[in-house]
């Protein structure tokens, strides 16, 4: 298929899109609509000349915003739509051509992602109305981690919670971990060996990837497990919920809200969920920002060390996501917490690796495991998986 793929990432009040041509150097049209359904709804994006635009779309719903997106594509007609779907449960191990069975299966998984899957389905339904003739493909955040061995995905809970209710570890950010580990396999002489990947953005997760297969990851049943994130706590004692309920009388909804929206960098620093601001405040000696940075980096290092148990050999670590791609400080701190792994970070190379640069951070002639920065491209990966899915059907 030579036509571009329109990648849609539909949230409950936002839609992210990108029009991706098969030619790697073709300009990408991309943008984001936010606050759907409110008076402030707005679509912002970039055009093929690299310029930006911003249109007010007061009270627009998903269908109206998708029509506005269509009008911003400069007359380029997509040949297919690729939808990012957060949760595919155990049913989806790869991308799937959307039909009524696939829609039913995504609905059936909604209990595991009550905030995300219904919004993703709303996006599918609106795009089917606007583009009835185009093939639409579902690309799942969880699918890449369906290769986890049972010892990595089962919690130590009674069997029926898994067998009857699907309570297990699924993992997320699959398109990002897949993209950067495959890219490292192409770029490094070590190829597709054992890679630890650290996706560090507003959401953060790590993965252990061997021969392009995910063997373990830090997120679990939900995207709350694992690392410290912008506003999410990551791992806490599972006894915390009962303790907060009994001692403070907090409801489950309140506990969920605190752990998902008021914790992480925001909770620790008391200032912000934005790592740039945390770093600036820490630099000026703000004690809680310094603590937030310490806990954030320590937990990444601890997670990478734990995940290394999944790999027969360790060929390197890959940093990606807004923080992983742009924060020499976080990368340097994490590596310095793993001295026994034999990384050899060259601080000068580390310092210049920002704003979309891709490359290795090692000192010259270093023989041990490598450290890389690889900018993620989740939209590009979704477009690629959409094409592969359609080719497999042809
Ligand atoms: P993402 O969710 O991948 O867009 O990443 C968002 C996170 O990346 C936020 O915490 C930002 O503060 C962080 N980020 C972006 N640029 C920088 C930077 N130059 N230094 C540190 N953190 C950054």
Average pLDDT per consecutive 10 residues, the chain (394 residues; last block may be shorter): 93 92 88 93 91 94 92 92 96 97 95 88 93 96 98 98 97 98 97 97 97 98 96 98 98 96 98 98 98 98 98 98 98 98 97 96 95 97 97 90
Is the domain of 134 the same as that of 209? no
**Are residues 219 and 366 both part of a single domain?**
yes
Ligand 1 centroid to 375 CA: how many Å? 12
- The atom of ligand 1 lying closest to the CA of 230 is 10
- Within this chain, do residues 201 and 348 fall inside the same structural domain, yes or no? yes
Q: Which of 104, 121, 140 is the last residue of a domain?
A: 140
The answer to whether 183 is a known ligand-binding residue is no
One domain for residues 244 and 352:
yes
On whether residue 145 sits in a domain, the answer given is no
Ligand 1, atom 18, residue with closest C-alpha: 326
Say whether 343 sits in a helix, a strand or coil.
coil
- Domain assignment of residue 322, yes or no: yes
pLDDT at position 187 is: 97
Contact status, residue 255 vs residue 244, Cβ threshold 8 Å: yes
Residue 111 pLDDT: 87
- Provide the domain count of the chain: 2
d(CA 60, ligand 1 centre) in Å: 29
Same structural domain, 110 and 216: no
Task: Find the distance separating the first CA and the last CA of the chain, reported in whole Å.
Answer: 10
* Ligand 1 geometric centre to CA of 277 (Å): 9
Residue burial 17-28, b: 16+ Cβ < 10 Å; e: rest = bbbbbeeeeeeb
**Protein residue closest via CA to atom 17 of ligand 1:** 326
Q: Are residues 118 and 199 in the same domain?
A: no
Judgement on whether residues 197 and 334 belong to the same structural domain of the protein: yes
* Structural domain containing residue 287: 189-378
Residue 323 annotated in ligand binding: yes
Distance CA 326, CA 391 (A): 36
The residue contributing the CA closest to ligand 1 atom 8 is 322
Do 219 and 350 belong together in one domain? yes
Say whether both 134 and 195 belong to one domain: no
**Residue 170 maps to a domain:** no
Is 334 part of any domain? Answer: yes
In a domain, 165, yes or no: no
Structural domain includes residue 148: no
pTM: 0.96
Side-chain-side CA neighbours of residue 65 (13 Å): 34
Catalytic, 141? Answer yes
Asked if the structure places residue 21 within a domain, the reply is yes
Say what the pLDDT of residue 252 is: 96
304 near 312, Cβ under 8 Å? no
- What is the length of the chain? 394
Which distant-in-sequence residues (6+ apart) come within 8 Å of 12 by Cβ? 36, 115, 118, 119, 122
Q: Are residues 331 and 272 in the same domain?
A: yes
CATH code for the domain in which residue 349 is found: 3.30.420.40
Q: 141, 315, 362, 377: which is the annotated catalytic residue?
A: 141
CA–chain centroid gap for 48, Å, is: 26
The residue whose C-alpha atom lies closest to atom 9 belonging to ligand 1 is 274
Q: Greatest CA separation found in the chain?
A: 61
User: Please, which residues have CB within 8 angstroms of residue 391's CB and are 6 or more apart in sequence?
Assistant: 1
Residue 62, annotated ligand binder?
no
Q: Quick check: is 386 in a domain?
A: no
What angle do the packed helices 287-307 and 328-336 form, to 10 degrees?
60
For residues 322 and 38, what is the distance between their CA atoms, to the nearest angstrom? 28
Residues 257 and 314 in one domain: yes
Q: How far is the CA of 224 from the centre of ligand 1 (A)?
A: 19
275 has binding-site annotation: yes
Task: State how far the Cα of 349 lies from the Cα of 204, in Å rounded to an integer.
Answer: 24
The SS3 of residue 78 is: coil
On whether both 38 and 110 belong to a single domain, the answer is: yes
């Amino acid at each position: 298929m030579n036509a571009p793929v329109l990648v849609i990432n539909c949230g409950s009040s936002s839609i992210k899109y990108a029009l991706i041509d098969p030619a790697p150097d073709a300009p990408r049209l991309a943008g984001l609509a936010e606050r759907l359904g409110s008076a402030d709804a707005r679509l912002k994006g970039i055009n093929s000349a690299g310029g930006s635009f911003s249109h007010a779309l007061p009270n627009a719903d998903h269908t109206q915003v998708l029509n506005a997106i269509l009008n911003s594509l400069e007359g380029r007609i997509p040949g297919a739509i690729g939808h990012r779907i957060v949760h595919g449960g155990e049913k989806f191990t790869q991308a799937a051509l959307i039909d009524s069975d696939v829609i039913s299966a995504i609905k059936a998984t909604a209990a595991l992602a009550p905030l995300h899957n219904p919004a993703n389905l709303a996006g599918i339904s609106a795009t089917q109305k606007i583009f009835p003739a185009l093939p639409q493909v579902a690309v799942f955040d969880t699918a890449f981690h369906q290769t986890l061995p049972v010892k990595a995905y089962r919690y130590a809970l009674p069997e029926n919670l898994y067998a009857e209710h699907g309570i297990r570890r699924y993992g997320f950010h699959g398109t990002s971990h897949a993209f950067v580990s495959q890219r490292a396999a192409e770029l490094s002489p070590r190829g597709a060996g054992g890679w630890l990947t650290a996706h560090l953005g507003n959401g953060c997760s790590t993965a252990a990837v061997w021969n392009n297969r995910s063997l373990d990851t830090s997120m679990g049943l939900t995207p709350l497990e694992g690392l410290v994130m912008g506003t999410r706590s990551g791992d806490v004692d599972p006894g915390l919920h009962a303790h907060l309920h009994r001692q403070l009388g907090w409801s489950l909804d309140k506990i969920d809200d605190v752990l998902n929206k008021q914790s992480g960098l925001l909770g620790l620093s008391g200032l912000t969920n934005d790592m740039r601001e945390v770093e600036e405040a820490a630099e000026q000696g703000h004690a809680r920002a310094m603590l937030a940075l310490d806990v954030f980096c320590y937990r990444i290092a601890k997670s990478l060390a734990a995940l290394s148990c999944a790999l027969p050999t360790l060929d390197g670590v890959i940093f990606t996501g807004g923080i992983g791609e742009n924060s020499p400080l976080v990368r340097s701190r994490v590596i310095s917490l793993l001295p026994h792994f034999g990384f050899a970070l060259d601080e000068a190379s580390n310092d210049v690796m920002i704003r979309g640069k891709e490359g290795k951070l090692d000192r010259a002639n270093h023989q041990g495991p490598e450290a890389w920065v690889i900018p993620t491209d989740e939209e590009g990966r979704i477009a690629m998986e959409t094409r592969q899915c359609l080719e497999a059907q042809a």
